[in-house]
Structure formats: C-alpha cells, structure tokens
Amino acid sequence: MTQTAQPAPTHTGGTPAAPSPQPRAAVVGLPPALKRRVPKYSDLAPLMKFKKPEFSNAARLRRASTIWELRDLAKRRTPQAPFDYTDGAAEAEITLRRARQAFEDIEFRPGILRDVSSIDLRTDILGKESALPFGIAPTGFTRMMQSEGEYAGSQAAEAAGIPYTLSTMGTASIEDVAAAAPNGRNWFQLYLWTDRDRSLELIERAAKAGNDTLMVTVDTAVAGARLRDVRNGMTIPPALTVKTVLDASYRPAWWFNFLTHEPLTFASLSRYTGTVADLINSMFDPTLTFDDLDWLRETWKGKLVVKGIQTVEDARKVVDHGADGVVISNHGGRQLDRAPIPLHLVPDVAAALAADNSDAAIILDTGIMSGADIIAGLALGADFALIGRAYLYGLMAGGRAGVDRTIQILEKDMARTMALLGVTKLSELNPDHVRLLNK
C-alpha cells in the first residue's frame, strides 16, 4: 500500500512549528593523564639533577661544543694584539671570509639505510697512518698566543695520533719539540732564506730530530698587509705600552704566564725584534723559483710537501719537480686578499693530478672551523686537512687542554657527519656526497 507524505504540523494561525530539539551530546571527560594534580615527591625526585656550579676554565672547555665557542673563550683570555694576529687576515680580510663562506655553502647529500654503527676515521698520509684525517698546521709565534705554545700542540697531536707541523718562525726549537713529543709524528715547515747555508742547517736539524716530512711554504715572497697587526703595533716580543698594559689588566693569567716563562724568541732563528712584516721582508727570499725547489728535493730525503698552492697549474708543476704532496692554501687569507678559495680548487687539482697518474697527496688548508668542513673537503677530493686557527683558538682558550678539546670537537663532528651521510670509512666519501653552492 502506498504511503502519502504527511504535511508538517503547524500552529494555529499558520505559523510553522519549531523543530524538535536534538538530543544533547554526552560531555567527554579529560583523559587521566591531562587532569591536574599535586605532584608527588617521588615523581619530582628523578627530575632534580642539581649540580654544583663550575666556574673553572676546565669546565668552560668541557662545555664548549664548537670551535667558535673556543674562539669566544680565547678572545676573553688573550690580549688583543696576539688574538688579532691569530684571528685576522690581510687587508680587508675578504679572502678569509670567502674561504669560510665556501664551507657554509656546502650542501651535503646523505645516503640512508646504511649500517653506520661503527665509524673509522683513520687514513694514510704521506706513507704513514694518521688516526684522524687532519693534522696541526705550522703557526708562527705560538707561545705568544699562550705560553705552552708549540709544546701543547705537539703533545696533543702525539696523544691523538695525528701529525704536528713546527714552523720556521716557531717559538720552540726543533729539538725541544721532538723531546716534548718523542713518539709523535713531527713535520717541519721551512721558509727558504736567501742564505742557503742557514736553510740547509735547519733541514739537517729537522732530519736529525726525526721529522719525516718537510713542508716548504712558497706564498710569502713579501709580507701581506695584515692591518690588524699594524693597528695594534704588534712586535715580537709584545711591547709593554700603556695600551697593552690596560688591555692586559683584565687578562692577568696571560701576562703572568708570559712573564714567568722563558722569554719569547724565534727558536729556529737568531734573536729578532721587530714587526712581523719586517721579519718576513728581511729574512725570506723573493727570488725563489722552481730551481730552488729542485735543490730542496735533492737535499731533503724524506717526504716533501709544498704549501701555498693556489692554481691547478702550480699544483702540477711542483709535483713534476718532485713534491710528494701539495697543500692547497692561501695562507689563511693572510697574504694576498681576494686569493682563490682553497675548497673550490680541490676538485680541479684532484682531477688534474689523477689525469697525470700522480699519487701526490692533496692537503686542504684555510677556513676550517668544524669537522663537517673537513669531511666536505675530503669528499671533494682532498686526502688530508690542516688546522691552524682552530688549533690556536683552543690553545688560547686553555693551553694543552684547549688543544685536546679542539681535536675532540673536530673528531666528534667528523664521526657524526659521516654517519649522517651514510658512510663508515673515509674511502667511501666521494663528490656525490656534496654539492658546492654559489660557486
């Protein structure tokens, strides 16, 4: 039987009736976990981990987790002239800024679903194993930054199983560094002088002291215009002027160490007093040519590395003249401003030497401030890296303990970066892991 629709009910007078009220939804209570209550002591006790405040410098070093934080500590503890000598570069410091920016402009390309439970950072460099893929670069006047100077650097490197390079302009002698780190791998950096007999004397001393690698620096025909040093009137040793005394008044530990240790001298040179630029311009040879490199190759029987390579052509030439390795470096931006960026040169140098069937080591220098920077350079084709400023920031921040902390930070950075890239050994790194932005 067919049903017919019933008309809607209406009030008398034709006004439509109000709709029937809908049933009200039941009120849902809060989950027990969200209901407020007075906390019990048994709940609070595991959360209360109050520690006694630590204000020692050792505690500050432990809390530092980046090289930049070590730099901040170094700046607070070191007078302006030696800090600026480390921190500064030539002229407008464009080269240094660009070198650091190049590392910031790296894009990593990680692989996933790899077993990265064990990371191996060991590598072979110039015929021997290094526990980490970096060493300590040669730095001049190091005991001016902090009184432990080259001794702290060489002993920290020995403990970490990495090479340490002593500068011709160091403030500890070849023999004293060898005695301080007898089981370390010590290298010696040489500036060739106009007086070849004095150069030969240094070479013989380095060999006798057990240095297995000679690193000749070739980018200092004349001194760069390091304007911070000019403004600070920096001399060796530091001058006690009204400005330096006032600057030291809130850095008493530095002055106490400076005044109560052996006087600061160039340990491999005769005593010299004057500006850095005067020393370089008076002692080093602007007539240096590839013929001198040939003489050095014949004279030195160990591994020979040339530091200051800034073009592909020069990398090939020095290898043709007997170099076992090249350090792609613009001297930390301290010589020619607007110089080439070392990181950007690495792929081209690696390709050129590979085309020549050369096994010469490619070492990267300048601008490195993290372990990720080192990994980026290795992925692009470098075999090894050198740290200069990063090491000195640690030294100024806390002497030997500060250098140890620098190495620990870089090691942790590298291991973490490799794990996140999906690689477990340095040999697995390749250019596919990185991309250079804004080159």
**Among all residues, which ones are annotated catalytic?**
331
* CB-based contact 61:398 (threshold 8 Å): yes
CB neighbourhood size of 225 (10 A): 16
CB neighbourhood size of 353 (10 A): 20
Q: At what angle do helices 389-421 and 80-87 cross, to 10 degrees?
A: 40
Q: Are strands 325-328 and 434-436 parallel, antiparallel or unpaired?
A: unpaired
Q: What DSSP designation does 428 have?
A: G
Q: What angle do CA 203, 396, 165 make, to 5 degrees?
A: 20
From the CA atom positions of the chain, what is the Rg in Å? 31
In sign, the C-alpha dihedral spanning 141, 146, 150, 153 is: negative
* CB-based contact 209:174 (threshold 8 Å): yes
β-sheet bridge partners, residue 307: 217, 327
Question: Of 311, 307, 312, 329, which Cα lies nearest the Cα of 99?
Answer: 329
What is the C-alpha to C-alpha distance for residues 374 and 384, in angstroms, rounded to an integer? 8
Question: For residue 399, what is the enclosing H or E element?
Answer: helix 389-421
Largest Cα–Cα distance in the chain? 127
Question: Of 180, 173, 184, which Cα lies nearest the Cα of 211?
Answer: 184
What is the C-alpha to C-alpha distance for residues 434 and 372, in angstroms, rounded to an integer? 11
Cβ contacts of residue 70 below 8 Å, gap of 6+?
61, 64, 390, 393, 394, 397, 402, 405, 406, 409
Residues of 66-82 as b/e, b for ≥16 C-beta within 10 angstroms?
ebebbbebbbebbbbbb
Tokens of 28: 């849902």
Question: Of 198, 61, 127, 132, which Cα lies nearest the Cα of 371?
Answer: 132
Q: How far is CA 197 from CA 202, 253, 336, 355, in A?
A: 9, 40, 29, 38
What is the C-alpha to C-alpha distance for residues 416 and 422, in angstroms, rounded to an integer? 10
